[in-house]
Amino acid sequence: MAVLEARKQVAPSPTKTRVKTGVRRWLPTAADLFVLPYTLFLLAFGILPGVFALILSFANFSNGTPQYFAAGLQNYITTFHDFRFASAFANMFQFLLISVPFGVIGVTGIALLLHMRTGWFASAMRTIYFLPGAVAGPTSVLIFLFMLDPQVSPFRGLLTAMHMDQTIIVIQPSHLPLLFTLLGFFVGAGGWIVIFYGGLKGISTDVLEAAAIDGANAWQTALYIKLPMIRRYVIYLAILTFAGNIQIFTEPQLIGASFAYSGIGTISPTWSPNELGYYFAFNDGNFGAAAAISLLMVAIGLIGALAIIRATGFFRTDAAV
What digits encode the pLDDT tens for the residues 260-285? Answer: 666 666 788 899 999 999 999 999 88
Question: Does 294 map to a domain?
Answer: yes
**DSSP assignment, residue 60?**
B
pLDDT, residue 321, reads 47
d(CA 66, CA 175): 40
Rounded mean pLDDT, 86-94: 95
The CATH code of the domain that includes 235 is 1.10.3720.10
Which residue did the predictor score with more confidence, 264 or 300?
300
The region of weakest confidence among 10-24, 46-60, 244-258, 267-281 is 10-24
Q: What is the pLDDT of residues 19-40, one digit of tens each?
A: 555 566 777 788 888 889 999 9
Q: Where does residue 132 rank: exposed (0-12), middle (13-18), buried (19+ CB within 10 A)?
A: middle
- Amino acid 7: pLDDT: 47
Has residue 137 been placed in a domain?
A: yes
Evaluate whether residue 129 is within a structural domain: yes
* 3-state secondary structure (DSSP) of residue 54: helix
Please indicate, yes or no, if residue 239 is contained in any of the structural domains: yes
Range with lowest mean pLDDT among 103-107, 251-255, 269-273: 251-255
Residue at 301 is within a domain: yes
DSSP H/E element including 199: helix 176-201
Supply the pLDDT for residue 137: 62
Domain count, the chain: 1
The CA distances from residue 195 to 80, 86, 108, 190, 192, in Å, are 40, 37, 10, 9, 5
- The answer on pLDDT for 156 being more than 70 is yes
Q: Is the pLDDT of residue 44 over 60?
A: yes
Beta bridge pairs of residue 60: 67
Collapse the DSSP code of 292 into the 3-class scheme (helix H, G, I; strand E, B; otherwise coil) and give the result: helix
**Average confidence (pLDDT) over 122-146:** 74
Distance CA 236, CA 167 (A): 36
Residue 99 lies in a domain: yes
Residue 171 belongs to a domain: yes
Domain span at residue 277? 68-312
Domain contains 133? yes
Higher pLDDT, 55 or 256: 55
pTM of this prediction?
0.82
User: Amino acid identity, residue 55?
Assistant: I
With bands split at pLDDT 50, 70 and 90, how would you rate the model's confidence at 188? confident
Least confident of 26-40, 75-89, 113-127, 223-237: 113-127
| Residue 174 pLDDT greater than 80, yes or no | yes
